[in-house]
Every structure is written in structure tokens, then in C-alpha cells.
Amino acid sequence: MPVRVMSYDTINPGDTRDFAVKLAQLEPSRISRLALLVKTEGNSDLNDFSREYALLAAEQTIRAHGGDSLLARSTFLFSTGCEGAMTPFGYLFADYDDPAATVPAGGKSLAMGCARSRSLTSEEIGTPAHAEITAATVRAAMANAGVSVDDVELVIVKTPVTTHIPAAAGKVNKRIPSSYSKAVASLGAGMELGEVDAAKIVQEVFDKDHAVHAKRVMSFSGSELDCVEIMLLANRTNQPGDLVVKTGFLTDLIDAPGYRNILRTCGCQLDEEGRAVDPDKIVAMMAKVGVSPDGKLRGKRTTMKTSHLDMDKHARATTSGVIGSILGSCRVFISANTVHQAPPGGGLCAAIVKIT
């Protein structure tokens, strides 16, 4: 079953008009699974509910199109923060029954798998059990996609910072920092992909030993969920469709050659100035970027770790400009803090492109 990928713009977190237009192109009964990867312009503070607002609006739109049945087949990966020139928008992914789709000449094309864990307890949040639950959810997503570890190009993890299950009598629910939740989930996913030694899944490593990292994982956290949600992207043999996904590392925040190399690997053409010749061929681009532990960039001091603004905001703003100069568009999913997802100060990027 081929995967359809479409993007839609929003004029505020609750705006779903363009999303509804794109969703209307898909017959509900032919959608086996639906996933939304969305960037909203909230500030990520504890009292910022833009993400929850956006999620509610999307759920209502899906229910109006395909009822509770389609909603139950949907995965929601919503992230806050559109600093810089980043366009607030969403990617719509759908496994869609299209009898006319054929297997491409290369024999492989994009496949998608989704999975959701059970709710975590307060005792499990931020512990090796949290990592093991993430690993099991990645395993379920691979089974859902019908792929093996070698097929996987990217695992996108949404991980909780608290639980909605009441704590035991006399205790209060634990809340962990966003970076810590990402750290635990990233190592758990990396373990399932064979990229992280199981012996490293211990409390002493989480968000401390940053040399330990996965290679095909992007994690972000949220307070709106109390479980682990996964969307997995792979290139599957004998998969019908006209898309392929490729992932690669970035050396730092301004590694424009790194983005260009990933696009070339996908078969994209660049002009003499390094800009995409046919940007419409690139249907999705996701970047995970980080700041060096010392706050420097190529040996020079920055204020990213000493500013009144959170360093993630600096990272997203910087990256939107770098990618925008290559694609001619800032409609790109950019998430910050690469804790255990790339070497310290480095990053990760995935591109989905048309191959026919």
C-alpha cells in the first residue's frame, strides 16, 4: 500500500482549513493509517496550550471526515516552536489503498509504521523502564510497517514528561525535564535499532554521556500525552509508491553541505549555487539540530547558552535560514535538542522525495 505525503499550512494553531482540503482528497475507507507531523508557533512554556489546541482541532477535522474509525487509525506528533523563518504547518502521512500504484524501478519505496504504547506510570517515567517501553513501541511500529531494522531510515518518537495515571497513595506524579525524556526515549529507540548497547540503558547515562547516541531517531516530548508514540519511516522492498526517504548526519547548526549531500543521495539536483533545482520533488524534510555543549559554533563563542532565550529557540531559528536558502522555502519540520540522537553539537536530517 503506497504512502501519500502532503503538507498543509496554518494561520494559527487551531486552523485546519488547508488540512481539511488535503484530507478531502483521500477516501476514508481507503486510509489504513494516518499520521500528522505538525509544527505550531507556541512558546513551549508550561502554560502554553497551543499544541493541545492544534491537536483538538485536527482531531475534530479527522472525525468530521472519517468518523471515530479514522480517528482511531491516526497518530499525532505535534511539536511547538516556529522561531526564525519557519512556516507553521503540518505533514499529512497516509497509507492509502491505490490500485494504480506500482513498485518503482529501484524496487523500494517509502513505507510507514505507527505504534502507541500503554500509559506510563509515575514510577516508570524517566527510568530504564521508559526506555524499554520505547524500544517495544519501535518494534511494534516496524511490525506495523512490515519492515526489518535494516529497512528503517527514521524513527520519530513523541515521549511524555509526566503521566496522567494517578500516583500511588501518598505520592505525587513525577514530571521530568523535556531533555531528559528525549534522552531516555532516544536511547530506547536506538537500542531497538541496534545502535545503542543495552548496557548503556542505565540512569547514569541518561542526558549525561552524550557520546552515546542513536543514528536514525528524532525525539521530542510533550505534556499532552502519557504514552510513547512512534511514526517510523522506511524504504521497503516491493513497496508500491513514488517516494523514498533518506537520512544523514549534520556536523553542526550551519552544515549546509550536509543538507545538500542528503538531497543528492535522494536523487535531487542542485544548481551551481547549491539551491534545489526542483524543490517540488522534495515532499518533506525533517531536521533535528543541537547546540554544542560549550555553546560554541566552529570554535567561536555564541550566546545560545547564555541568552535569556532558550537555546532550542536559537537552534530552530538558525536552521530555518540555512535550509530555507537551499529549498527556497521554510516549510520544514525543525526540532531542537539532539540529546542521544546525534554526536554532541551535531544533528540529523531526513528527506522524502519523489522518485518517479
Residue 235 · residue 326 · CB < 8 Å: no
> What is the predicted pLDDT for the residue at 290?
92
In a domain, 101, yes or no: no
Average pLDDT, the chain: 94
Find, among 205, 203, 226, the residue nearest to 214 by Cα: 205
Domain boundary among 96, 127, 152: 96
CATH number of the domain to which 34 belongs: 3.30.1330.170
* Same-domain check for residues 261 and 299: yes
In a domain, 56, yes or no: yes
Digit-coded pLDDT (tens) for 116-172: 999 999 999 999 999 999 999 999 999 999 999 999 999 999 999 999 888 877 778
* Same-domain check for residues 128 and 219: yes
* Same-domain check for residues 85 and 153: no
Q: Secondary structure of the chain in the HEC alphabet?
A: CCEEEEEEECCCCCCCHHHHHHHCCCCHHHEEEEEEEEEECCCCCCCCCHHHHHHHHHHHHHHHHHHHHHHHCEEEEEEECCCCCCCCEEEEEEEECCCCCCCCCCCEEEEEEEEECCCCCCCCCCCHHHHHHHHHHHHHHHHHHCCCHHHEEEEEEEEECCCCCCCCCCCCCCCCCHHHHHHHHHHHHHHHCCCCCHHHCCCCCCCCCCCCCCCCEEEEEECCCCCCEEEEEEEEECCCCCEEEEEEEECCCCCHHHHHHHHHHCCCCECCCCCECCHHHEEEEEEEECCCCCCEECCEECCCCCCCCCHHHHHHHHHHHHHHHHHCCCCCEEEECCCCCCCCCCEEEEEEEECC
The total domain count for the chain is: 3
CATH number of the domain to which 194 belongs: 3.30.1330.180
Position with higher pLDDT, 222 vs 111:
111
254: containing domain: 243-354
pTM: 0.94
Digit-coded pLDDT (tens) for 74-108: 999 999 999 999 999 999 999 999 998 999 888 89
CATH number of the domain to which 303 belongs: 3.30.1330.160
* Same-domain check for residues 249 and 292: yes
Is residue 45 over pLDDT 80?
no
* Same-domain check for residues 269 and 169: no
The fraction of the chain above a pLDDT of 70, given in percent, is 100
* Same-domain check for residues 137 and 227: yes
In a domain, 102, yes or no: no
Digit-coded pLDDT (tens) for 238-289: 999 999 999 999 999 999 999 999 999 988 999 999 999 999 999 999 999 9
* Same-domain check for residues 229 and 249: no
* Same-domain check for residues 125 and 163: yes
* Same-domain check for residues 205 and 275: no
* Same-domain check for residues 51 and 26: yes
In a domain, 238, yes or no: no
Domain boundary among 96, 125, 150: 96
Q: For 42-46, 229-233, 289-293, which range has the lowest pLDDT when averaged over its residues?
A: 42-46
Domain boundary among 96, 118, 143: 96
* Same-domain check for residues 330 and 292: yes
Is residue 27 over pLDDT 90?
yes
CB atoms inside a 10 Å sphere around CB 211: 8
* Same-domain check for residues 129 and 169: yes
Classify each residue of 286-312 as buried b or exposed e, where b means 16 or more C-beta atoms within 10 Å of its C-beta. bbbbbbbeebebeeeebebeeeeebbb
